Structure 1
């Protein structure tokens, strides 16, 4: 599997599901300014990420640098594979809130699409959260989307999209640059 071939991801849970994402990436972010409020205004910004396997291949971590319009911040994604269930749990640690891990989304890849879900709250109200990993049709490179649902998953509002491009040789290998 090449670093840009998410479509080759297994159809059943495997510790190799995220191998397509190992390495260094440039990210083009688009996110809604307000979530679940009918907002149609998107903001775009860049970022970078470096992902590596951990725990003998049963987990992986990516270190992220996000260049938001109002300032940069760091974040970490931790993914852990449960071989007994064939599912992944994914946590987000925002460097602006270093003592708080987000609720993990849990799921797996099927037919090259990774879907991961959690129950959470937004502004004190219960919501469903969905992370989805796909391949961009035009390039085959990874795309991540986040969506929220306030009606138990009947309808979804996509609120954040990340398009990944591999960093080329000679480009910064870490998001610290």
Structure 2
């Protein structure tokens, strides 16, 4: 498999089980769980893909879109998030690649007034499922707080 094909596993329709940290970056250890759905399709002859997400937070349902673009020159993916609760704002990308079946992606963003480092990890990839995790760091990646885990099950 080439890096360009690295997200092919995610093509199609998925049921998603979300586990979400209630408060981020304040020592919280309370999680909530909820359901969702995701549909991914390849675009631009496989140099990009996008998925549509239906997320059922306990506080309300919302939609989101992930846009992933592949750069063949650097052999990396950039991942962008568009959130229906904040239409018109595209989150700063995380950038990375897959090695040995695990995708790791990093980026810089802000959480409130604080600058943070963001990490996405794709793992546990099979024909019928996968896991995505999001973590934030306040110390340039020396320590991480995982705050969202999504387990995908193919429909």
* TM-score, normalisation: structure 1: 0.84
Per-residue deviation, 1:140? 6.8
Name the residue aligned to 2:67.
78
Per-residue Cα deviation, 1:110-152 (whole angstroms, up to 9, x for no partner): 1111000001111211110000000169x97200000000011
What is the aligned counterpart of 1:39 among 28, 39, 55? 28
Per-residue Cα deviation, 1:74-122 (whole angstroms, up to 9, x for no partner): 0000000000001000000001111000010000001111000001111
Per-residue Cα deviation, 1:16-39 (whole angstroms, up to 9, x for no partner): 000000000000000101111000
Give every structure 1 segment of 4 or more consecutive aligned residues whose post-TM-superposition deviation is greater than 6 Å. none
For 1:157 and 1:35, the matched residues in 2 are separated by 8
SS of residue in 2 equivalent to 1:152: coil
Name the residue aligned to 1:175.
none
What is the aligned counterpart of 1:116 among 105, 112, 120? 105
For 1:51 and 1:122, the matched residues in 2 are separated by 27
SS of residue in 1 equivalent to 2:103: strand
The higher-RCO structure (CA 8 Å, 6+ apart) is 1
Matched, 1:66 2:52: no
SS of residue in 2 equivalent to 1:96: helix
> Mind listing any 5+ residue stretches in structure 2 that lack a counterpart?
none
Matched, 1:141 2:129: yes
Matched, 1:23 2:12: yes
Distance 1:112 1:31, change over 3 A: same
* TM-score, normalisation: structure 2: 0.96
Larger radius of gyration: 1
For 1:136 and 1:55, the matched residues in 2 are separated by 24
Q: Quick check: which one's strand share is greater?
A: 2
Alignment root-mean-square deviation, CA: 1.5
